[in-house]
Amino acid sequence: MEEYGIKAVTARQIYNSRANPTVEVDIVLNDGSMGRGMVPSGASTGRYEAVELRDGGSHLGGKGVQTAVRNVRETIAPALIGMDARDQKAVDAVMLELDGTPDKSRLGANAILACSMATAWAAAAHTRLPLYAYLGGALATTIPVPMIQIIGGGAHAANAIDVQDFLVIPLSASTFTAGYEMAVNVYQAAKRVFAKKGKPLSVADEGGFWPSDFTTNEEGLALLTESIARAGYTPGKDIGIALDIASSEFYDEKTGRYRFALEKRDFSREEFVDLLADWVGRYPIISIEDGASEFDWEGARLLTERLGDRVQLIGDDLFTTNVGRIRKGVTEHTYNSVLVKPNQIGTITETFEAIAVTKNNGYLPVISARSGETEDAIIVHLAIASSAGQLKVGSVARSERTAKWNEAIRIEEALGASAHYPSAGVFTDAGLRIFS
């Protein structure tokens, strides 16, 4: 146990892919093994997420994290020194007790998560095992199906269009590597489609193309469908489309209406569900995230009644990787899938609990990155360790994205014949009629 004892905890302010400060923590064990955790940050965030502690004031636009860093150095580190890094649950529990708030607002979820991540990496380093194998054991062999952004809108592209992400999911590939190559081909084809239509090529926060000069949100669907075909694939058979609507961003709590600013159109919840159902009927859409606002449980129920047997309906802002909110969603029959983001909840232990509750209730977990990312590839390892089956990272461009996709390629190679890639089975085995 002494070899696994935490000897040193070091925290610092670094910067993420959106040029915003974030927290990084190094944890060193008695034998010299070291783990490093780098915390991501979202642009489109749910109200019920754990609190990301920032300094405020004018310096760095108020987004500095020196207070969170100081909390690690002065409060968390003394409590963790000497603890067994193998006991992740105990390490996380100590930090939660130190914080003492339901949303981690005292010490900051960013301070806590950086330490939680670093602990896991350090323990894995000591065992000389890859993190996915350390966390998941011999059964950690499922390589996740990628969900890959091609066009980035909403908060990821200064709200140039209302819908936040237009993504692709490979369906006919037999390996992760082959599926990722298909998405790369679609991305390159989308470049040509953009050029043909005279649209400027620029990149949004997660590496997808910036939707300049779009006149409607549906234009993104048409362009993406054309890109899939131009890449040589059959839309809906080889590759499906996923949408991240991020509807909380344009939902009015007072009126209960949704508004597409681009088109100057307002919708009741029933009308908005009708719109999404119409899109599903006319485009090869197999997954919709946040099709209703985090404040609109009735809208989420209506959408689930309408499309829940044929489309993956993901709750992000509605659930925020929170076990209590996920259980409420199950009870109220809202959605059939949960987006899992470690920084929404704040510890590795709670992340695994959220995945377990999701799977135990027949929902599909999708492990996800954030728009403000780092080179840390921990979510790939979490996806494989938990056999989650799906991974959403962003696009195929920008190194904070490719750091994660490339890690999945390496792990698939390392597992060799042991690797299991579910492909379209991740949906059909769950009873979704994505090919209907």
Cβ neighbors of 96 (< 8 A, separation 6 or more) are: 104, 112, 347
CB-count exposure of residue 59 (10 Å: 0-12, 13-18, 19+): exposed
Active site annotation includes 305:
no
Residue 341 annotated to the active site: yes
* Residue partners of 167: CB distance under 8 A and separation at least 6: 147, 148, 149, 150, 208, 241, 242, 243, 244, 287, 392
DSSP conformation letters of 352-373: HHHHHHHHHTTPEEEEE--SB-
Distance set, CA 40 to CA 46, 52, 176 (Å): 15, 10, 24
Q: Which of 206, 289, 350, 412 is catalytic?
A: 206
* DSSP letters spanning 248-297: GGGEETTTTEEEETTTTEEE-HHHHHHHHHHHHHHS-EEEEE--S-TT-H
Phi, psi of 5 (to 5 degrees): -65, 140
Nearest-angstrom CA–CA distance, 98 and 178: 46
Distance from the Cα of residue 41 to its chain's centroid = 11
Q: 197 in helix, strand or coil?
A: coil
Nearest to 395 by CA among 369, 376, 422: 369
d(CA 373, CA 394): 10
Q: How far is CA 126 from the centre of its chain?
A: 28
CA atoms within 13 A on the CB side of 52: 21
- 79: tokens are 């409590």
Kindly report the backbone phi and psi dihedral angles of residue 165, in degrees, each rounded to the nearest multiple of 5, phi listed first: -140, 135
Among 199, 179, 196, smallest CA distance to 239 is for 179
The angle, 0 to 180 degrees and rounded to 10, between the axes of the packed helices 378-385 and 109-127 is: 70
Q: Which of 7, 341, 392, 404 is catalytic?
A: 341
User: What are the catalytic residues?
Assistant: 206, 341
